[in-house]
Structure 1
Amino acid sequence: MTPTDDTPTPAQPSGAVPPAPAPAAATAPALGGLETSLEKIARELMIQQRADRRWRIFFRFVWLALAVAIAWAGLSERLTPSAPSKPHTALVEVRGEIAPDTEASAELLVSALRSAFEDQGAQAVVLRINSPGGSPVQAGIVNDEIRRLKLLHKKKVYAVVEEMCASGAYYIAVAADEIYVDKASLVGSIGVLMDGFGFSGLMEKLGIERRLLTAGENKGMLDPYSPQNPKQTAYAQAMIDQIHQQFITVVRQGRGKRLHETPETFSGLFWNGEEAVRLGLADKMGNLDYVAREVVKAEDVVDYTPRENVAERLAKRFGAAMGEGAVKAMRQLSPMR
């Protein structure tokens, strides 16, 4: 049997205010909500720090891999001999546009030519050409270097044309001792051009005003948004005429009496290989294998053309990928979403 408390509860007077609840009981829910918010913030900070740490580790591994690849490529190039010592035909390719920062830039071609001439196993140097031309400056540098190296090393140079040898490419080819073509090759285009567009009439119709400020009377020369100035146009024409004459002189020096000049030889026209031989712009029909076997008498062909190595390709690809990855990482780590 359980005892029962029979003590009576004191009566409350009429109109009395009930006692207020204890302060601790009132603030308990508020403190619980604050603790929950703090926990969420702490968790977010930890997640962010972990993501940040993972990205740092990832980028470190990527850069380490890139550094190893560059070191490996450089070491392999040093350990690999540039060419066999036995007699061979040295090949240098002239492909695409002749311009700075291209595969057919003067910098790369000159470097390849020097390596080819300096190798004692190289019996002769063959330029295999497939180019529409390009910069007269770049072509002129290569032409000058070929002539210098021929005198220095006493080696023959042969140009072999595949699809096209035009303009600046032909400027280079005439430095060779002989030029070989296919009957359907395109050869010639001995000329110089300077092109552009003029929008002044269209701008006038559209009500667009050109506001060009220059310090120097001819600083805005050949501006496409301004009407042509006869004096400036004549100056530009005289300049390209002079460069054209330089081109003609180089062709005459290179081809000599073999060149059968006509009124159209230096007009900018181009011809197929068969016609080029008839006009004296080329010497004979033949490809690389024929020249190496029958002319140079060294069938083994060693390519000295500079190629983009593994490290350079990796650097370019990783450069773009890393930039994109860094942007994504910054967006993910940013607190403002």
Structure 2
Amino acid sequence: MLNKIKDLIAQIPLPMFQNRPPVVAILPLEGVIGSGSRFSSGLNLAGVEDKIKQAFEVGNVKAVALAVNSPGGSPVQSELIMRRIQRLSEEKDIPVYAFAEDVAASGGYLISLAAKEIYAHEASIVGSIGVISAGFGFHKAIEKVGVERRVYAAGDNKSVLDPFQPEKENDVKLLKEMQKDIHEFFKNLVKESRGDRLKGTQKVMFSGQFWAGKEALKLGLIDGVGDIHGVMKEKLGDKTKFKRIKDEKGFIKGLLGMGGDKSRISDEILATLETRSVWSRYGL
């Protein structure tokens, strides 16, 4: 019943509504992509789903602009966010445009594929269509301090890539096979989204390399060089208004800076270091 009333109201030609300027909802998608405590302040569907919905519900919204600033992370969370944005775009019949800020690389670029068109700044970093896994080996360190590693498992591959044991050739082989499958998944998403707009060779584009804005444009990874306000005003007119979707934070929690359980400070430090290492791949 409520939906029918809304439909009837929408059909009433009210001049005051007809003269309203178009609105672009800006949806910030920032940070390393991942779920759970591994990336405690990271980007994941659970954390941004409400913001995605808000973007498509802004009054008189004519387009949603994704402000992407991410060096990547979880391919699963990247696709979940991308598909959610795509579905709402189709359901609401509202176009989506993506804008790379400092970096839209790896999973950050994958999220951008939700858009009808992708734009970047000349100095933005775009691409890195590949898969990476990094870690440390501690087996020599624990030997020096006299620690003996004891592992008991049911299953030949249950302790694959244990950082406290010497690296095994078979473990590396298993990891590379998995990375190959995930890389194929990523490449297929890019080809599905960009289609004939891709101009570079697959060997180059899918090598894991990344480029600045103008070179990404030559390869067809993006559709133009520009910023949100400039591009969207060209599309919708100079009277276009912009509404940035912001995080909702409790007043007291924000005032006191209560961002998490202080008993897990060591986990937070490790998460910060890992996040820092991901950004540093792109010189940021």
Which range, TM-score by smaller chain? 0.7 to 0.9
| Alignment correspondent of 1:272 | 212
1:193 and 2:128 are equivalent in the alignment: no
After superposition, the Cα gap between the structure-2 partners of 1:231 and 1:166, relative to the gap in structure 1 and judged at 3 Å, is same
Stretch moving more, 165-174 or 132-141: 132-141
| 2:245 counterpart letter in structure 1 | Y
| Percent identity for Structure 1 against Structure 2 | 38
After superposition, the Cα gap between the structure-2 partners of 1:186 and 1:143, relative to the gap in structure 1 and judged at 3 Å, is same
CA distance in 1, matches of 2:186, 2:246: 25
After superposition, give the CA deviation of every residue in 1:97-135 in whole Å (9 maximum; x if it has no partner).
122343632223222122222335110000011111111
For the 8 Å contact 1:118–1:153, the answer to whether it is kept is: no
1:152 and 2:91 are equivalent in the alignment: yes
3-state secondary structure, aligned to 1:242: helix
Gaps spanning 5+ residues in structure 2: where?
A: 1-19, 263-284
Stretch moving more, 155-164 or 289-298: 289-298
| Alignment correspondent of 1:256 | 195
| Alignment correspondent of 2:268 | none
1:308 and 2:260 are equivalent in the alignment: no
After superposition, the Cα gap between the structure-2 partners of 1:103 and 1:236, relative to the gap in structure 1 and judged at 3 Å, is closer
Alignment of 1:1-337 (within 5 A): 87-100=22-35, 101-102=40-41, 104-204=43-143, 208-262=147-201, 263-297=203-237, 299-314=240-255, 317=258
3-state secondary structure, aligned to 1:317: coil
| Alignment correspondent of 1:324 | none
RMSD: 2.4
After superposition, give the CA deviation of every residue in 1:251-284 in whole Å (9 maximum; x if it has no partner).
1111111012321211110000010000001111
Gaps spanning 5+ residues in structure 1: where?
A: 1-84, 322-337
Q: If the length of structure 2 is used for normalisation, what is the TM-score?
A: 0.76
Structure 1 residue 316 displacement after superposition:
5.4
After superposition, the Cα gap between the structure-2 partners of 1:319 and 1:129, relative to the gap in structure 1 and judged at 3 Å, is closer
Q: If the length of structure 1 is used for normalisation, what is the TM-score?
A: 0.65
| 2:137 counterpart letter in structure 1 | G
**Could you say which structure has the greater relative contact order, defined with CA pairs below 8 angstroms and 6 or more residues apart?**
2
CA distance in 2, matches of 1:223, 1:306: 38
After superposition, give the CA deviation of every residue in 1:48-91 in whole Å (9 maximum; x if it has no partner).
xxxxxxxxxxxxxxxxxxxxxxxxxxxxxxxxxxxxx8631011
For the 8 Å contact 1:157–1:177, the answer to whether it is kept is: yes
After superposition, give the CA deviation of every residue in 1:118-156 in whole Å (9 maximum; x if it has no partner).
335110000011111111111110111122112111111
After superposition, the Cα gap between the structure-2 partners of 1:249 and 1:305, relative to the gap in structure 1 and judged at 3 Å, is farther
3-state secondary structure, aligned to 2:123: coil
| 2:73 counterpart letter in structure 1 | G
After superposition, give the CA deviation of every residue in 1:201-255 in whole Å (9 maximum; x if it has no partner).
4555666432222232222111011122322221121112111111111111111
Larger Rg: 1
| 1:221 counterpart letter in structure 2 | V
Paired residues, number: 237
CA distance in 2, matches of 1:203, 1:162: 43
For the 8 Å contact 1:91–1:305, the answer to whether it is kept is: no
After superposition, the Cα gap between the structure-2 partners of 1:308 and 1:214, relative to the gap in structure 1 and judged at 3 Å, is same
For the 8 Å contact 1:292–1:300, the answer to whether it is kept is: no
| 2:48 counterpart letter in structure 1 | L
CA distance in 2, matches of 1:92, 1:306: 10
For the 8 Å contact 1:109–1:305, the answer to whether it is kept is: no
3-state secondary structure, aligned to 2:97: strand
CA distance in 2, matches of 1:96, 1:310: 23
After superposition, the Cα gap between the structure-2 partners of 1:320 and 1:270, relative to the gap in structure 1 and judged at 3 Å, is closer
3-state secondary structure, aligned to 1:251: helix
Structure 1 residue 320 displacement after superposition:
7.8
After superposition, the Cα gap between the structure-2 partners of 1:281 and 1:203, relative to the gap in structure 1 and judged at 3 Å, is same
